[in-house]
Amino acid sequence: MSTRGALIGLVLIITGVTPALAEDDPRWLLSTSVNYSVGDYGTNKDTTIVSVPVTFGVRPVDQLWISLTLPWIYQSSENVVVTAGGVAVRKKGGSGKFARPERSTSESGVGDLLLKVSYTVLEERDFVPEIAPYVKIKFPTADSDRGLGTGEFDETIGVDLSKRLIDGLFGFVTLSYTFVGDPPGTNFRDSFGWSVGPAYSIGPLSLFTFLDGSTAISPGQSDPLELRVGAEYRLTRALKFTGAVTRGLSNGSADWGVSAGFTFRF
């Protein structure tokens, strides 16, 4: 039985890692969710971000998953911009498209397209976790003129580790490194990200808690750090629902966030 964590939606943006328990060897995946967050990210004004990603995945061979995610994004101001490495704060006095506008306005539209390829190199054994390295590429399909993206490619390499600890208790660890593209007039830093936490399965219900963190991509911005608590309910062998609440623990993260969605595997 596989216990690999599944990255559903915009992984380093809002929801992060979601446990995928009791898999039945699916070959196709279709998922969507609604993710809401609000925070000032160390500025003097709150920014509200709503993301509705749709993910389609396929497993052509047992160890390989390939997925495409395309989100719709709404944000209440242009003080921050979402990237594959996290959330970047737009600075006053900057240059180019990434300079903070004098008057912030609400914008909505298609976000950046995300391609992920994951391959299980080692299946779980008695004292060995399942190991699944992955590569992600963010394609700049979002409108950077409207503050919905940076207009640059981002690339991420990472690895998911998962292990049944005892009975229904599972442990998950994700490590990643993102090469963040620089829009004109900026000098973003690459980002190291991590996520760690347990999940406990009781029949069709799984409860999970994760601590998610990364290094900031904007100079002078705090490193993002947040706590995420949620549940996953498997209605049928193919259909499951997931919900979570997130609390930011630093100025680099949103103050609060909630998410709800479903995944259909067949």
Reading the block at residue 10, the tokens are: 């915009």
Phi and psi (nearest 5°) for 81?
Answer: -135, 135
State the chain's maximal CA–CA distance in angstroms. Answer: 58
Return the residue matching tokens 């446990």. Answer: 19
User: pLDDT for 164-177, tens place per residue?
Assistant: 999 999 999 999 99
Residues 167 and 83: their CA atoms lie apart, in Å, by 38
Percent of the chain with pLDDT over 90: 67
**Domain 6-265 CATH (choose: 3.40.50.300, 3.40.630.10, 2.40.160.40, 1.10.150.120):** 2.40.160.40
Global pTM reads: 0.86
Phi and psi (nearest 5°) for 242?
Answer: -135, 140
Of the candidate ranges 66-70, 126-130, 243-247, the one whose mean pLDDT is the lowest: 126-130
- Judged against a pLDDT cut of 50, whether residue 9 lies above it is answered with no
Average pLDDT over residues 204-233: 95
Query: By C-alpha distance, which of 241, 229, 230, 231 is closest to 265?
Result: 241
Kindly indicate the confidence band of residue 202, based on its pLDDT and cuts at 50, 70 and 90.
very high
